[in-house]
Amino acid sequence: METINVGLIGQGFMGRSHSNAWGQVSKFFQLPLVPVMHTVFGQEEENPRAFADNWGWQNATTDWEQLVASPEIGLVDIVTPNFMHAPVARTAIAAGKPCACEKPIAGTLDDAREMVEAAKKANVKTFVWFNYRRVPAVGLAQQLVTSGKLGDIRHVRAVYLQDWADESVPLLWRFEKQLTGSGAHGDLNAHIIDMTRFVTGQEITEVVGAVAETFIKQRKLMTGTAAGGIAAGMKGAEQMGRVTVDDTVLFLARFSGGAVASFEAARQATGNQNRNGFEINGTRGSLKFDFERMNELEYYDATLPRAVQGWTTIMCTHAADHPYVANWWPDAHPIGYEHCFTNQAYDIMQVLAGQEPTVPMPDFEDAYQTQRVLEASLLSAAERRPVKLEEVK
């Protein structure tokens, strides 16, 4: 069986979810190309050798450029903080290596554009880990919408609400503009912009208005390594540093098919621990998805007689009808967050082997469209005006 050596650039929360996926995928999927967990990069103080031993990477290094340049590495997988996505991707692409990257693909639109252009010029395959596309319920939603089951789409309302970022959380990289680009906006609105573009099959053509707010303006400075992701219980020095990104961004938008939309990302939405979801209203029906109940899709069929119309809860765990499920468990044996990443690892292997992915796979160009919406929303909030997408290239 043909194999491909994977090089993981970064550790933290996404390093763990990707390591789990690369280790699990060949156990659950019939692969046309088998990933080998070859080398992981981490900073000295992150102890990459211990990370490698724990997760099953053969090698560990503190030199990412040497890793990317190594002729043994076939696929570069980037899970660093956002500011490093572009330099690592550019280096991998220059070496002719296919490149997978966490979302958002960059902290800035300029970096994202550079990544797209480099990949196009080098004709290198790229992948972006918008993992929520690989939730079976989201795949079913896309099938229902794009097959016309909901009729014409009138409303899209999407939220990605978390509540971890209280005053006790120190100044992680996620709060510093030069390391992350934006706050909850690029971290969370990126997911729901991608997900609703995917489910509707439409593009956002205008940001009608937006508001950005930073509620906690100072945070404790970090000591030691700021682990990416949500590092609870970090002991930080008492000095304070300024937060330079948003805690929340809300915006209103229009889709190319005529629907109007609302998006909301927040990190202090108390009581919403990881509520990532959407509601889509069409002329023939509606859908509701909430990741906190990720195996279920709520469906309203407005073509039924009014006497029997109501919301139906579909359990999206049926092998013959719901994507990826045939590789996991029988009906009503729910899957979890980590399975979306393993599903994505499977699809990356399929695309690298010249096959079609189970569910459309975002590359850098696709993720750049999401980055444009992120940028247009920040511009709209800053200048308090509508911003058409053609204004943001």
Q: Which residues bind ligand SOE (CB under 6 A)?
A: 13, 162, 187-188, 229-230
Task: State which residue, 102 or 363, has the beta carbon closest to ligand SOE.
Answer: 102
Q: How far is the CB of 234 from ligand SOE (least distance, A)?
A: 15
Task: State which residue, 61 or 295, has the beta carbon closest to ligand SOE.
Answer: 295
Q: How far is the CB of 359 from ligand SOE (least distance, A)?
A: 17
Burial of 172 (0-12, 13-18, 19+ CB in 10 A): buried
Task: State which residue, 3 or 270, has the beta carbon closest to ligand SOE.
Answer: 270
Task: State which residue, 162 or 377, has the beta carbon closest to ligand SOE.
Answer: 162
Helix (H, G, I), strand (E, B) or coil at 352: helix
* Look-up of token digits 């009729």: 151
Specify whether the CB–CB gap between 165 and 272 falls below 8 A: no
Q: How far is the CB of 188 from ligand SOE (least distance, A)?
A: 6
For residue 353 the two structure tokens come to 């082997």
Residues 291 and 294: their CA atoms lie apart, in Å, by 4
Task: State which residue, 2 or 167, has the beta carbon closest to ligand SOE.
Answer: 167
Q: How far is the CB of 338 from ligand SOE (least distance, A)?
A: 11
Helix (H, G, I), strand (E, B) or coil at 270: coil
The terminus-to-terminus CA distance of the chain in angstroms comes to 43
Dihedral sign of CA atoms 61, 65, 66, 70 in order? positive
Is the link from the previous residue into 104 a cis peptide, with omega within 30 of 0? yes
Task: State which residue, 136 or 285, has the beta carbon closest to ligand SOE.
Answer: 136
Task: State which residue, 60 or 89, has the beta carbon closest to ligand SOE.
Answer: 89
Q: How far is the CB of 38 from ligand SOE (least distance, A)?
A: 25
State which residue has the least CB distance to ligand SOE: 187
Residues 172 and 165: their CA atoms lie apart, in Å, by 10
Specify whether the CB–CB gap between 72 and 3 falls below 8 A: no
Residues 6+ positions from 169 with CB-CB distance below 8 Å: 219, 230, 231, 232, 234
**Closest-CA residue to 15 (of 92, 159, 129, 183):** 129
Q: How far is the CB of 342 from ligand SOE (least distance, A)?
A: 14
Task: State which residue, 48 or 229, has the beta carbon closest to ligand SOE.
Answer: 229
Q: How far is the CB of 141 from ligand SOE (least distance, A)?
A: 18
Q: How far is the CB of 132 from ligand SOE (least distance, A)?
A: 7
How far, in Å, are 71, 100, 116, 192 from residue 92 at the CA level? 11, 10, 13, 28
